[in-house]
Structure 1
Amino acid sequence: MKNLIKSYILPAAAVSVLAITSCSKLDPKLESPNSIAPTQAGGAPTAPSIAAVYEQLNQLTGGQGNWFGLQEHSTDEIMGPTRGTDWDDFGTWRRLHLHTWGPDHNQINDTWNGLNGALFQTTLIAETKTGLEKAEGQFLRAYFRFLTCDIFGQVQSRPATAAASAIPDVLTRSAAIDAIIAELEAAVPALPAYNGANRAQATKEAAWALLAKAYLNKAVYKQAPTSPAGPYTFAAADMNKVIEYCNLIAANTNLAIDSYYWDNFKWDNGTASSENIFVRKPGGDARAGNGANLVWQTCQSWHYNQRPSSWNGFVTLSQFYDSFEGNDVRKSDTLAGYTNLVGPTAGLLVGQARGPVKPGSPKEPGSIGDPIGNLFDRSGNPLVFTRNASIFFNGEASGIRVNKFPLNPAEINGGGWGSANEFPFFRFSDVRLMKAEALLRGGTAGANGETALSIVNDLRSKRRATALGSVTLTSLLAERGRELYLEGHRRTDMIRFGVFNAPVEERPNASDAYKVVYPIPTISLSSNPNLKQNFGY
């Protein structure tokens, strides 16, 4: 695509962390995610290897910003408060939470560049290869098209045979979702069935999961560009397609709701999880690369004196925390082989922080292997995470912290970077909740005796939550939040349920309806005359 930078670094706040167990606040450089492929004599680019195309997923799992930031910071799940000069980052995170972004926002620009670089690379595979390799390219292009369609409402498109300098055509949101569905359906026959070992590769089940998500959100993407926030009309035929694809996935006996929620996220989730359909691995697989290191999920939120020593940044909103029952394992749970060595529970952290303390100096943080005790802040006061935080002014301990991907204790003294957590793009519990939603929205075919309530209560029973007496769209959105938080789904979900613009903690007023679609970056408008700025910007 035109004007694609070859690599980029996410913005960093001025946080100095000097312990040997620290994370680096500077995000890892994403190696050439948008590089233009070598060209043939005629000017058309040469297709990269399929492994290089899978590397495009790195941009989704390699840091706390961009795709993740746009999907989470704009919602009720996470917020980036300012602590003195720490985490101000020129208002980057604050503008996302307050819905005051514009076409000049750095995260919006970087996300657009990254996704379009991925579309360029995946097109070369999807349109020039054959057999399995072609089907993998089709799946990956459909996935990146889906993300671009969802976030920006327009998708650039150019044939693989075109010269690298050719100006792309632009698919409208309505045309893009149709193209995504058609490409996935064409790819499925050549893809392998999911068997657990191929979870980092495109499979039939991964394609069906994306098809279910495409049909579930189709009404959103078919909406007129001048009224992108709806109200939406969900066709029963589309909901029946959601159910059809969810049933196909459920028929695979290699997949089941895991009896222990945290098996899907902790350092051994590659072998422990029975739910993760399509993931990004941290390394050791030619198709997976090194893009899924999830140390940033911990470091973005934890205090400097926890282990690994972290950036003391993002927090969960108290109203989201309060949506969980006390016994819900997804809210908080003592994790065997972890809490006794590292200190925190898995889940959401509030109250007195605990971790390794230095023997003989209990107010100084220690290393893994030292006794676990109460932690203190940098002034020597007890480190007690409060329920609330301000978007503007905070102390060290303000806000509820997050531990969604518990790191391998054996790796934490080295900063945690060797932990083997995999990031799930598609998970079986999401599939089950999509079927429940489709049933609530008028789908009837393929219910197989299940109801939205029976599906939700089956899931809740495995999460130690009490059974519900009834389920509505409002309660289903809350259940999706509890089950899928910080997995990159929340903005898309809130838009579909019609509440994305509603006031939330630290944003007391409703935002403008057009904010359900992000703007096209200004520099991209100048490089492609086929692009038009989205309504409202």
Structure 2
Amino acid sequence: MKTKNIFTGAMLALATISCSDLDVDIKSQYTDYPMDSDMALEARISNAYYAFRDPLNRRYDELLSLSSDEYSAVCFDGGWLDGRQYSNCSTHSWNASANDNQLNVCSSLLSGITNCNILLRDLEEGDTELSAPVRAARAFYTFLFMDNFGDTPIADDNLTQGATQIDRSPRADVARWIESELLAVRDDCPSEVNESTYGTPTCWMVDALLAKLYINWNVYTQDVTSASWSPDDANEKLNDCITVCDRIINSGMFDLSDDYKTKFMYTNGSHIKDFIYAVPYEATLSQGMMYARYRTWRYGGANGFYTTVLTPSCGGNFAMNPEFAELFCLPGDRRNDVVVGDPAQDSIYVYQYDPETGEVTDVPHMYEGKQVVFTKNITLIREDGDLDVGANGTRQGYRSIKFYPDPDDYNLYERNQDNDIPIFRYADIILTKCEAITRGGTATQGDTPMSLFNQIRSYVNAPLLTEAPSLQDILDERGREFLDEHWRRNDLIRFGDYERPWGFKYINPDNALLTNRIFPLSQSVLQSNTNWNQNAGY
């Protein structure tokens, strides 16, 4: 069997980043990896492509969703307080020990980079068919680290060979490296869109990642934590952003033909024409997706996910902030149907949902002999960082059912769901081009901000605009369209709205510090990388 010894000192530093025992003999980390069978190669490629699956299924979701204006992480007379690790996210009160679970997604991202690097070192030189998408995956993990944690190690093995430590590079340099890397591999990545390429990097995934990079260029290449930074500063990459959006639009590979609610159901997958890049989950084998557990109500386990009894208990600690719930107010908007609640009312009676279609029925949802009522507003039993609504506060806050679970799978496989989670969608490309033109980019192909915006409104049956959208219109529309898809924090920062008061942030007197625009590094990562410093402000 042909094997290779694939670690140098720099890669060892990253590969061992999740180890808690710092006294482990470094030689024990060397591993021989087979390369002489299709099965072994496929396993290693999968290990590189799907390194984001584990953090995305819970901790990344908590970190991003709870720190945006989407949710407040409440507890119930101490239940689900867990040392304030959830509520800290909602009040931006980061704590090194309490929030190590959420913040340590940076460790998972670094592990993903390492998975890509060890595979790239073993592939035959010049094998661009295999290496290009792996490099795209590595750029994706690097992007996520940079977006959330600022300065990032550029762990390109060609640049770091022989190094014993890898330093973090300035965020602006990382952004430029990501751009150059994506441009270098784009044309060598697959262009096919089918079941075999689903969930893997294609050239269209590269274009979508470039679009994200370019629309946020001012966030990444300037000091976004400085009072002198402005969301209205000129962006030199707007036309580049429009160009990559046009490539995706002109490909004909993607469209908005999927019903909004249906494409997030547990039956979603490679047939969804809106999904450019998604992370696939399956309740039996590719496990971990459990969004319903936290987004239903506390007693969903006692009498069901609004219909079918869920045997494992539910958390129910993601209560939608009333300010965010009020976005779902457009008459006829299909997106309203993924929220259990009516923003025009302070409270609503809850009805059962059909577990096969996820559609609401006219059957009242009962608990202990009474129809369940949800309130839009959330009231704490005391004003502190616990965000405690009391034992009777389980029905406060409207709820998301966007990723509606298969109740049978939820019960049989310990809360696991079959819903795939999209990362890049065609709808995002349309709204990104709309935003780029609104911010001053050159319109192309006869598109206008209003025509692009109305493509989104049209496919969800919402009222069309009769004049060009404002940036506030675009931000609000992005909130409706991308609920639970982990782009809200990114959007709020880019639009200069991250310091706006919402939920219970006011409980933390430092909630509006500009340094909060970048998360702190986890203590686990700092202990493993002693040459790194904590981010400013923490």
The TM-score normalised by the length of structure 1 is 0.80
Q: State the SS of the aligned residue for 1:525.
A: helix
Tell me if the contact between 2:293 and 2:316 (Cα under 8 Å) persists in the aligned partners: no
1:93 counterpart = 2:86: yes
Equivalent position to 1:306, from 301, 304, 307 = 304
1:183 aligned residue: 181
Moved more, 266-275 or 222-231: 222-231
Residue 57 (structure 2) aligns with: 62
Asked whether the 8 Å contact 1:216–1:238 carries over to 2, the reply is yes
Alpha-carbon contact 1:294-1:405 (below 8 Å) kept: no
Q: Distance in 1 between the 2:239 and 2:161 partners?
A: 41
Equivalence map 1:107-256=2 (5 Å):
107-129=101-123, 130-158=127-155, 160=157, 166-197=164-195, 198-224=197-223, 227=226, 230-232=229-231, 234-256=233-255
Task: Tell me the secondary structure at the aligned position of residue 56 of structure 1.
Answer: coil
1:282 partner SS: coil
Q: Which moved more, 1:265-274 or 1:453-462?
A: 265-274
Contact 1:330 1:347 in 2 (8 A): no
Counterpart in the other structure of 2:378: 389
Question: Which 5+ residue runs of structure 2 have no aligned equivalent?
Answer: 1-12, 21-27, 34-39, 343-347, 380-386
Q: Retained in 2: the 8 A contact 1:267–1:407? A: yes
In 2, the alpha carbon distance for the partners of 1:164 and 1:68 equals: 36
Q: SS in structure 1 opposite 2:67? A: coil
- What is residue 497 of structure 2 aligned with on the other side? 499
Give the conservation status (yes or no) of the 8 Å contact 2:258–2:274.
Answer: no
1:410–1:171 distance in 2 versus 1, CA, 3 Å: same
Match of 1:84 among 77, 94, 106: 77
Report the 3-state secondary structure (helix = DSSP H, G, I; strand = E; otherwise coil) of the residue aligned with 1:424: strand
Per the TM alignment, residue 151 of structure 1 is displaced from its structure 2 partner at its CA by 0.6
Percentage of identical aligned residues: 25
Q: CA deviation at 1:172?
A: 1.2
CA deviation digits over 1:87-142, x for unaligned, max 9? 21111111111111144422344212111111211222345533222111111111
Q: How much has 1:314 moved relative to structure 2?
A: 0.8
Matched-pair contact (CA < 8 Å) for 1:126–1:136: no
Cα 1:206–1:106 change in 2 (3 A) is same
Structure 1 residues 226 and 458: CA distance shift in structure 2, 3 A: closer
CA distance in 2, matches of 1:182, 1:384: 53
Total equivalences in the alignment: 474
Q: What amino acid sits opposite 2:464 in the alignment?
A: A
Partner of 1:524: 525
Residue 254 of structure 1, CA deviation: 2.3
* Alpha-carbon spacing, 1:453–1:355, altered in 2? closer, same or farther (3 Å): same
* 2:315 pairs with 1:348: no
Cα drift, residue 407 of structure 1: 2.4
Structure 1 residues 353 and 480: CA distance shift in structure 2, 3 A: same
Task: Name the SS of the counterpart of 1:279 in structure 2.
Answer: strand
Runs of 5+ consecutive residues of structure 1 not aligned to the other structure: 8-34, 41-45, 334-345, 358-367
SS of corresponding position for 2:496: coil
Higher helix residue share: 2
- Larger mean CA deviation between 243-252 and 319-328 belongs to 319-328
CA contact (8 A) 2:57 2:290 kept: no
In structure 2, distance between residues paired with 1:242 and 1:410 = 43
Distance 1:121 1:91, change over 3 A: same
Tell me which residue corresponds to 1:18.
Answer: none
Q: CA deviation at 1:176?
A: 0.7
CA offsets 1:160-215 (integer angstroms, 9 cap, x no match)? 48789932122110111111111111111111114232221111100000011011
Does the aligned pair in 2 maintain the 1:70–1:107 contact within 8 Å? no
Is contact 2:261-2:335 (8 Å) kept?
no
- Equivalent-residue separation in structure 1 for 2:224 and 2:315 (angstroms): 39
Distance 1:228 1:184 in 2: 31
Is the deviation greater in 67-76 or in 411-420? Answer: 411-420
CA contact (8 A) 2:113 2:155 kept: no
TM-score, normalising length: structure 2: 0.80
CA distance in 1, matches of 2:370, 2:239: 57
**What letter matches 1:175 in structure 2?**
D
**2:205/2:424 contact within 8 Å kept:** yes
Which residue number in structure 2 is paired with residue 361 of structure 1?
none
Query: What value does the CA root-mean-square deviation take over the aligned residues?
Result: 3.2
Amino acid aligned to 1:348: V
Give the Cα separation in 2 of the matches to 1:471 and 1:426: 22
CA distance in structure 1 between the aligned counterparts of 2:530 and 2:282, rounded to whole angstroms: 40
**Residue 18 of structure 2 is aligned to residue 5 of structure 1:** yes
Q: CA deviation at 1:57?
A: 2.0
- Aligned-residue offset at 1:236: 4.8
- How big is each residue's C-alpha offset from its partner over 1:503-537, in whole Å with a ceiling of 9 and x where there is no partner? 11222475111100011234533443442222222
